[in-house]
Structure 1
Amino acid sequence: MDKLLLFGTQGCHLCEQAEALINGYEVTDTGLPSIEKIDIAEQDQWQERYAVRIPVLYHAQTGEELGWPFDRAGLDAFIKSIRAARI
């Protein structure tokens, strides 16, 4: 099953904006894969990799990333890209 990780941290207003955009995404039979929020403060490796880039949406199966800023069109393109990788 597809899984997306949303890297962010507490008190990050950009992370809150990204989460609101993702939560508002219209879920249909081709909607978003499951999403797990990851706080980069929990692991040094995540802080090193994402500290100045959050929020970042990461597709665990392909390693593809969608970095902020992104909008609905960017999210649509990202979802289409990871779906195409499965075919």
Structure 2
Amino acid sequence: MKVYYYTRNQCELCREGKLLVELLQEDYPFEIVERDIDTNEEWTERFGLMIPVVEIDGEIIQYGKIDLMVLEEYIKTYLNQDGADARC
């Protein structure tokens, strides 16, 4: 599973959110694909006021202040639906 994390430089909220996503990565099998919205006009237009943004399988899961519990529950559910074992 890939978790797309939209961010930009000099964003403290983005740094804090990434730490939470990385924390979950210790317990669940997924890859983080970090995307700097300032490198792509479409991302800047789409996510400019929302960052950070967590997207899985084309669905925006969270944006702004990332909530660890909400994100973990989504990842657990997603992995279980996919037939994978949720815990590493």
TM-score range, shorter-chain basis? 0.7 to 0.9
Counterpart amino acid of 2:73? A
Match of 1:44 among 41, 44, 59: 41
- Unmatched 5+ residue regions in structure 2? 84-88
1:85 to partner: Cα distance: 4.5
Counterpart amino acid of 1:13? E
Cα-to-partner distance string for 1:24-81 (whole Å, 9 max, x where unaligned): 22623xx04100110000110000000000000111xx31212222222111122124
**TM-score with structure 2 length normalisation?**
0.80
Match of 2:31 among 16, 34, 46: 34
Match of 2:59 among 64, 75, 79: 64
- Partners of 1:68 and 1:86 lie apart in 2 by 27
Counterpart amino acid of 1:64? E
Residue 86 of structure 2: aligned partner: none
% of aligned pairs identical? 24
**TM-score with structure 1 length normalisation?**
0.80
Aligned residue-pair number: 82
Report matched runs for 1:71-86 at 5 Å.
Answer: 71-86=67-82
Q: Runs in 1 of length 4+ with deviation above 3 angstroms? A: none
